[in-house]
Amino acid sequence: LGDADFRVKGIKCQKMELGEADSKGRRAPIPTDEFNIFNVDMVIVAIGQGPNPLVTRNISGLETDKRGLIITDEKGHTSIPGVFAGGDIVTGAATVIKAMGAGKAAAKSIDEYLWELKNYNGGN
């Protein structure tokens, strides 16, 4: 919902109910006639995406889990020395905060790794 200047002023959410189970036992949401309106001044759109299979297919030795997410330690180190990962490719469709945290940890580890390389190579 917006004003005359196209600024967001609210969001309108339609209440859903679960329908009958399908052949696999899953219940799909069905829209109702009920709505809720929330006053807001900003909307952040976050869409879930799966990991890009090109990354894991083209990097031999990169360990992934059954969902195709790259496996790292808490600092973003992957199974390949000098290769780091962070963000959605590690956390999956989690919150933006979790993805940012994983990205920040990986960035810090990359910085530390590059400083170690520089010191090892005599500052070059």
39 and 60 share one domain: no
Answer whether residue 101 shows pLDDT above 90.
Answer: no
- The dihedral region occupied by 122, where left means phi > 0, alpha psi between -120 and 50, and beta the remainder, is left
In a domain, 48, yes or no: no
Structural domain range at position 20: 1-43
Answer whether residue 112 shows pLDDT above 80.
Answer: yes
Q: How far is CA 33 from the centre of its chain?
A: 32
Confidence at residue 64, expressed as pLDDT on a 0 to 100 scale:
92
pTM of the model: 0.52
- Mean of the per-residue pLDDT values for the chain? 86
Contacts of 77 by beta carbon, 8 Å cutoff, 6+ apart: 84, 109
pLDDT tens, 23-71?
Answer: 999 999 999 999 999 999 887 665 556 666 777 778 889 999 988 889 9
22 and 63 share one domain: no
Confidence at residue 124, expressed as pLDDT on a 0 to 100 scale:
62
